[in-house]
Every structure is written in structure tokens, then in C-alpha cells.
Amino acid sequence: MRKATIHNLALECGEVLRQVEIGYTTSGTYNSEQSNAILVCHALTGDSQAVGDGEKPGWWDGLIGPGKAIDTDYYYVICTNVLGGCYGTTGPASMNTETKEPYATHFPVVTIRDMVRAQYKLIEQLGISHLYAVIGGSMGGMQVYEWAVEYPQMMDVVIPVATCAQLSAMAIAYNDVARQAICNDPDWNNGHYYPQLGPIRGLATARMVGMITYRTAELFEERFGRAHQGTVHADLVDTTFEVESYLRYQGDKLVQRFDANSYLYLLKAMDTHDIGRGRDGIENALSRIKAKVVCIAISNDLLYPIPHQLWLSSTLKQQGKDVDFFAIDSVFGHDGFLVEMDKMAQLVGPYFPVTVKEQQTSQLIG
């Protein structure tokens, strides 16, 4: 992972972060025509490692890499950790340069738009004036829409996957249950728990709630059903059913790699996501888009249902935009954008055509 420093980042809340560290990775080679850069945006608990580095696998390895749908032999792929995160970019666990202590909950509330503006400053710092494409799923897809609206001349193609233009009431409701689980853990201590681990029980429960929303009832029934471990007459709070064991495992796994305060800040950024905010509504915001838009939805997605994404696609078409819409049928529900790699590759691949790759190959060689 590489690091870059951004100075004086003005936030939507009115505060200014004087120094922001951005953690990011790159894969491939930036060509002489400066036409092959792609920005990949990650989801809630993701990081900048979208592409494997030989030691650690990437979370989108099935889609990005040498010879894959987004071929890093020809394209230059950039992925940043988001503002407020805990994987190399300034967030609540970072040291406040003024107080010499972790920000904790003194870190300002950030939005998806703030994340995108920080990414834009990084892209500028890297000497990139134009992106071929911006792609991301879930919270990453929110960033994609913000990119398309905030910097409409900046890219040729945007691919928002399993996402929305503004978060729904249902998704906000689930997020608040997760938030309450963390904040009601006595070890949260109003966010001032560093250097201790903090509210690991609350964060684990929040993750369990999240995992229920990421998958489908059909998948849970198929994978677990009513299968149980040991006797059905277990202690009142013991894990009896395999689905319980699975959820608890997922919760315990997250607390080993993620900061609870970052989880809270990113949930709030998702809750407040609305590309129409300050732009006279969603339709007016969409009218600013210049790039080709490729909307990809996932069937049975509880958080980002297909009708909302169909409405976005239809609205863009009515505005005369160049837009394609696809729906992936998946038993995995929302998590399909991370699991259904063959289906994703078939849809995404054509937007990174061979003819473009051949042209880029000659540029890289000659």
C-alpha cells in the first residue's frame, strides 16, 4: 500500500482537515496517452486491496488482474481506502496532529461526497487528469455516482453496482440497529477507547446484522436450514443452530480487522448519501452526468432493490444519457457483487474492449 498526503480538505460539515493521509494501491502501468486509468471504490469494510499483490488476495481478484475482465496488463487500476476508514486513510483511529491523540469521536462526520473529493485530490496528485472508468459496488457504488455527478467530465464510463443514489429507509433502519449495538456496548466509552480494543461485542453484533442483510433467506435455508450442533436442549444462550454459529463467526472475524469507530462513521456516510443533496434533487443531479453509465443490480438485494436502480436507469435514458442496465440473478443477494465473479466479468468485460487494449499495448511498448 502506498501513502499520499492531502492538505486542507474542506468537508461538507464545514470543518477542514488540515492533513489527510490517503492509503492506496495501484496495479498495472499508466500509459503514455493517459487513457487507461481506472478508479475502483470499495464497500463498507473493504480496503484499497482490490487486486491481489502476490502475498494478499484482493477482494475483486475475480474481476481485476492480468488476463481478467479488467486486465491490469493494459489498464492502470487505482483503489483508495476511504476517508474515515481504518486501512491507511485518516479516520477516527488516526492521530490528530494538533492534540497528538487519536481523533476518536472528535473526528468530523464525513460523507460519501467528502470521500470522493479526497479521492479527486489524490488523482490530481498522481498527475491523472482523466479516468477511463470509475467502478464500485455497494458503498463503492455510492462513490461512483458521486464521481459521475461531481466531476462529470472526468471519466468515460461509470459502473455503479448494487447501489443507490440515496439510501433507503430500510437500509438506514438496519444501519441504526448496528449502530446501537456498538454504542450500547459499555466498552465503546463514547468512542474514546484507544489503545484498547473497544466495543468488540457490539461490533460483532453489528456485523451479524449486516451479514443477514447481505445474503438471502433462500441461501440461509439452503446452506443451514435447521441444522444444529449438539443437543437441541442447550443452554439458553449457547449456539445451537449452524446459522447462529456462522453469524457469530462472521462477527468475531470482523473485530479482528476493523475499527468500531470507523464502522460508525462509514455507516453515517452511507445513511446521509444522497446525490441530490444541494443539487435540487436526484433527477437534476443525474442530468449532470456525461459518462456512459452501466448500472448493475443484484436480484433479491434487500438493501438496494432492483426497482430503485431501474428507476435511475430509466431516468437517465429519459434525459438522453448513454446508459445500460443489467440484473444479476443470484441466491447470494447483495453480496452477489463480491461472489458472482463469472457473471460480473461477463457484464463488465465488454466495456473494456480488446480494441482499446491493443491500442494501449502499442502505447506501452512503443
- Could you give the number of structural domains in the chain? 2
Placement of cell 468515460 in the chain: 156
| pLDDT at residue number 228 | 85
Residue 201 has pLDDT above 80, yes or no: yes
What pLDDT digit, counting tens, does each position of 42-55 carry?
A: 999 999 999 988 88
Residue 322 among the catalytic residues: no
User: With pLDDT > 70 as the criterion, what percentage of the chain qualifies?
Assistant: 95
| pLDDT at residue number 231 | 67
One of 94, 138, 262, 313 is an active-site residue; which one? 138
| pLDDT at residue number 138 | 98
One of 42, 185, 301, 313 is an active-site residue; which one? 301
Cell of 347: 457484464
Q: Read off the pLDDT of each residue in 110-123 and give the average, rounded to a whole number.
A: 98
* Same structural domain, 137 and 63: yes
pTM of the predicted model as reported, rounded to 2 decimal places: 0.94
For residue 111, what is the domain's CATH number?
3.40.50.1820
Q: Which of 219, 247, 266 is the last residue of a domain?
A: 266
Please indicate, yes or no, if residue 358 is contained in any of the structural domains.
no
pLDDT band for position 233 (cuts 50, 70, 90): low
Burial of 62 (0-12, 13-18, 19+ CB in 10 A): middle
| pLDDT at residue number 364 | 42
Cell of 159: 459502473
CA terminus-to-terminus distance, the chain: 29
* Same structural domain, 291 and 151: yes
> By residue range, what is the domain housing residue 176?
172-266
Q: How many CB atoms lie within 10 A of CB 248?
A: 15
* Same structural domain, 303 and 161: yes
Q: Is residue 176 part of an annotated ligand binding site? A: no
pLDDT band for position 148 (cuts 50, 70, 90): very high
Is the CB of residue 76 less than 8 Å from the CB of residue 38? yes
Please indicate, yes or no, if residue 364 is contained in any of the structural domains.
no
Residue 359 has pLDDT above 90, yes or no: no
Residue 138 among the catalytic residues: yes
Q: Read off the pLDDT of each residue in 174-193 and give the average, rounded to a whole number.
A: 98
Residue 235 among the catalytic residues: no
Residue 362 has pLDDT above 80, yes or no: no
pLDDT band for position 366 (cuts 50, 70, 90): very low
Q: Is residue 335 part of an annotated ligand binding site? A: yes
